[in-house]
Amino acid sequence: MKKYGLLGYPLGHSFSKTFFNQKFESENIEAEYVNFEIPDIKELKNILKEHPDLCGLNVTLPYKTQVIPLLDELDEDARQIGAVNVIKFKKGRFGKLKLKGYNSDIIGFKQSIEPLLKSTHRKVLILGTGGASKSVYQGLRQLGLDAVFVSRTPKEFCITYEELTSKTMQLYTVIVNTTPVGMFPHITSCPDIPYDLLTPGHLLYDLLYNPDETLFMKKGKEKGAAVKNGLEMLLLQAFAAWEIWQKKE
């Protein structure tokens, strides 16, 4: 039986484990998906030794960047983003195991937001500067959009929330929240943007999906803006991970 798994710490409720095991059962695939909750990424070597039937791994916080030095190759997207959330196992010369890192977050995000984009959506505000924001930035660039990061504190290549003027809000008609602000149980919180300056021409995309409609989305909807949460992106990146594992090279 083939085995796939998730690296992270802590793991708690894992979307990936539930998703893939349900997929394997419903499609009669002889495989299982397990969680590897490890306190140090260096333990990956022990996992590989103890589980020779492993065919692929997902990677979540805090190891999306830390795992990179332990890999043999990187896909171009993963290299440019500087984060990996999918590892494909390949047999190299003389049967030696080789690990190649990919980023399926960028695939899920692009596929999810692209149908919502209109010709007026040319500039994007990315709220947050964490790991997810880098996948979003790269995806938007590939879709031909200009994007700028918004940070709570002054940083290089960023603007702050205090700098979101009327003109800025008029020019930047797509706003993507990559922060955890507004996630359950803190559902009465939202990113500190000037919601009164939103219009029906704006698109608000929240990477969060719990609750289904965050306060960020609700405030956007009240101004007539199009809104979407991150659940579809989550599903699409999982589909993409499976395709990466199955693809012959």
Measured distance CA(179)–CA(172) in Å, rounded: 18
Burial class, 182, CB count within 10 angstroms (exposed 0-12 / middle 13-18 / buried 19+): buried
Q: In which element (H, E) is residue 89 found?
A: strand 86-91
> What percent of the chain is helix, strand and coil (3-state, nearest 5)?
40, 25, 40
Residues tagged active-site: 64
Question: Cβ(104)–Cβ(111) under 8 Å?
Answer: no
User: Is the peptide bond between 39 and the residue preceding it cis, with omega within 30 degrees of 0?
Assistant: no
CA distance 96 to 41: 21
Give me 108's structure tokens.
Answer: 């899920």
3-class secondary-structure state, position 204? strand
